[in-house]
Amino acid sequence: MGTKERRLLLLSSSVVHGSEYLQHAADDINNFLKKYHVTRILFVPYALHDYDEYTNKVTSVFEKWGYKVNSIHTSKDPVQAVKQAETFYVGGGNTFQLLKALYDWNLIDPIRKSVLEEGVPYIGSSAGTNVATPSICTTNDMPIVYPPSFTALGLIPFNINPHYLDASPTTHMGETREQRIEQYHKIPGVPPVVGLREDCLLHIEGDKITLKGKSCVRIFSPGKNPEEHEAGSNLSFLLKTI
Amino acid sequence: MGTKERRLLLLSSSVVHGSEYLQHAADDINNFLKKYHVTRILFVPYALHDYDEYTNKVTSVFEKWGYKVNSIHTSKDPVQAVKQAETFYVGGGNTFQLLKALYDWNLIDPIRKSVLEEGVPYIGSSAGTNVATPSICTTNDMPIVYPPSFTALGLIPFNINPHYLDASPTTHMGETREQRIEQYHKIPGVPPVVGLREDCLLHIEGDKITLKGKSCVRIFSPGKNPEEHEAGSNLSFLLKTI
Ligand SMILES: [Ca+2]
Ligand SMILES: [Ca+2]
């Protein structure tokens, strides 16, 4: 599939401590939607259990900004809803639940096609960011349901670890996030992982990636030392490693 | 299968901040092994990538205590090694990697049979504790490999969340552990979850469970408020809920 038309905004988190839902990324989201002349959003609520409640919360935020929201769960034909979507917002929650629902409703290929071939903009947050990558292998979520595969939408060729956390020096809490990613990188052939701290987001346009938000990201590549890249950095090299 | 012969020691963690490998549980492990007149331990290293290195680390600790250790990965016939085992020690690491290897080597039924029908003692730590339960649905680990199922050994009828952590009041870090377990409990028919804080362990003998270690556990049952139970508590009710 092509990547020239790709338009993605991938958030680490929908909430940052002390602020309301999506407010920390309000400017970036609004600039993104305006740039592509979006007026309607197709919301994907599958990562949480109560779709109606989740849709109300998301709708109230986007409506305040002037956008119309439809949730895919209210459509009788979700595949058709994807084909007609003007933009996607895939919300956070449990990544396993989200991916399983995308498979259950046969939405993997249609979403992939819309984004990569038709240039339909895609906003993901947390679990919605995980499923945009080649696999959900670097989610932090509990495996509360069993999806038919860990292979995800593959809108980009590298993994993301949302809510990336540095090790706490004072207590043990099982493996650190960095150790978990190192364990992943012992498996031959797996891609780099971007450790996306909570107030970070990636803006991907075709073959260009810009790091937005306020923090650095930590990038893990198999066989290399991790690297820090600061807000505003051009991370397009991540699209050229594969 | 029967449960009368069941002899399990399930640790939250193999390391507690500031102490050496397994030292925080040294007395409980030694009492457990002495009680059942164990002299040889079959070690299961599959949760980590480097089996030899992991085996050396574990062997040095158990040898110091006077036990002989064989690792299952050095056996040409792992199923036969399970059948001849005098006791199991299943170490921590990545739960998905561990469970996948147990399936790849066809060890699920043989281990289950040894523990539940032959009374072979089982010590698990972290990932080794997760796989002792009905499923790995409450692990904290990253899904770095795809096992053929999330169904695990089912040596007990409830789930455990090792390295259980209380919410941090000062920062956001994705969902709290409690929120993750609540999401799990929205799925119909799933069992209770024991949130096992790092210095806790469960001693299970037949139909009796005693909480050992220094902390409380937090027990989550679907549709109920979470409950705290302090060290020394009898938790046998968990075996009667199913
Ligand atoms: Ca999540
Ligand atoms: Ca682990």
Q: Does B162 touch chain A (CB under 8 A)?
A: yes
Residue B153: closest CA among B107, B117, B194: B107
| Chain A contact set for B97 (CB, 8 A) | 183
Could you tell me the residue range of the domain that residue B218 belongs to? 7-239
CATH code, B148: 3.40.50.880
Q: Does A168 touch chain B (CB under 8 A)?
A: no
Catalytic residues of B: 126, 141, 163
Ligand nearest to the CA of B172: 1
Ligand nearest to the CA of A129: 1
User: Are residues B145 and A187, on separate chains, in Cβ contact within 8 Å?
Assistant: yes
Q: How confident is the model at residue B40 (pLDDT cuts 50, 70, 90)?
A: very high
Tokens found for residue A37: 């002349």
Domain contains B2: no
In this prediction, residue A23 carries a pLDDT of 95
Domain contains A2: no
Domain contains B198: yes
Instruction: Give the least confident one: A94-98, A171-175, B98-102, B123-127.
Output: A171-175
Residue A174 has pLDDT above 90, yes or no: no
Q: Taking residues B161-183, what's their average pLDDT?
A: 84
Domain contains B184: yes
User: Are residues A180 and B139, on separate chains, in Cβ contact within 8 Å?
Assistant: no
CA distance B185 to A71: 24
Q: Which of A136, A165, A184 is nearest residue B173 as measured by Cβ atoms?
A: A165
Dist. CA B106 → ligand 2 center (Å): 22
Percentage with pLDDT > 70 across chain B:
96
Q: Does A232 touch chain B (CB under 8 A)?
A: no
| Chain B contact set for A19 (CB, 8 A) | none
Domain contains B124: yes
Instruction: Give the least confident one: A15-19, A49-53, A191-195, B188-192.
Output: A15-19
User: Are residues A144 and B184, on separate chains, in Cβ contact within 8 Å?
Assistant: yes
Count of Cβ atoms closer than 10 Å to residue A16 Cβ: 20
Q: For residues B3 and B116, is the Cβ–Cβ distance under 8 A? A: yes
Find, in chain B, the residue whose alpha carbon is nearest to that of A144: B137
Q: Does A17 touch chain B (CB under 8 A)?
A: yes
Q: SS in 3 state form for B170-187?
A: CCCCCCCHHHHHHHHCCC
Dist. CA B127 → ligand 2 center (Å): 5
Q: What is the pLDDT of residues A21-47, one digit of tens each?
A: 999 999 999 999 999 999 999 999 999
Domain count, chain B: 1
Dist. CA B132 → ligand 2 center (Å): 14
Q: Where are the alpha helices (DSSP H) in B36-143?
A: 51-64, 78-83, 95-104, 108-117, 127-130
What is the layout of strands, in order, in the sheet containing A159-161? Answer: A159-161, A193-196, A217-220, A227-229
CA distance A58 to A32: 17
Q: How confident is the model at residue A167 (pLDDT cuts 50, 70, 90)?
A: confident
Dist. CA B13 → ligand 2 center (Å): 9
Q: For residues B96 and B144, is the Cβ–Cβ distance under 8 A? A: yes
Find, in chain A, the residue whose alpha carbon is nearest to that of B198: A173
Percentage with pLDDT > 90 across chain A:
89
Burial (CB < 10 A; 0-12, 13-18, 19+), residue A188, is exposed
Using CA atoms, how far residue A211 sits from A198, B73, B100, in Å, is 13, 44, 36
Q: Does B143 touch chain A (CB under 8 A)?
A: yes
User: Are residues A184 and B15, on separate chains, in Cβ contact within 8 Å?
Assistant: no
Residue B171 has pLDDT above 90, yes or no: no
A95-104 vs A108-117: helix axis angle to the nearest 10?
A: 90
Q: Does A214 touch chain B (CB under 8 A)?
A: no
**Sign of the C-alpha dihedral computed for residues B208, B34, B118 and B109 taken in this order:** positive
Residue A75 has pLDDT above 90, yes or no: yes
Burial (CB < 10 A; 0-12, 13-18, 19+), residue B240, is exposed
Q: Which residues between 67 and 106 in chain A have a beta carbon less than 8 angstroms from any beta carbon of chain B?
A: 93-94, 96-97
Q: Is A50 a catalytic residue?
A: no
Q: Does B225 touch chain A (CB under 8 A)?
A: no
Q: What is the pLDDT of residues A116-146, one digit of tens each?
A: 999 999 999 999 999 999 999 999 999 999 9
CB pairs under 8 A between A and B: 96
Q: Taking residues B130-141, what's their average pLDDT?
A: 98
Domain contains A1: no
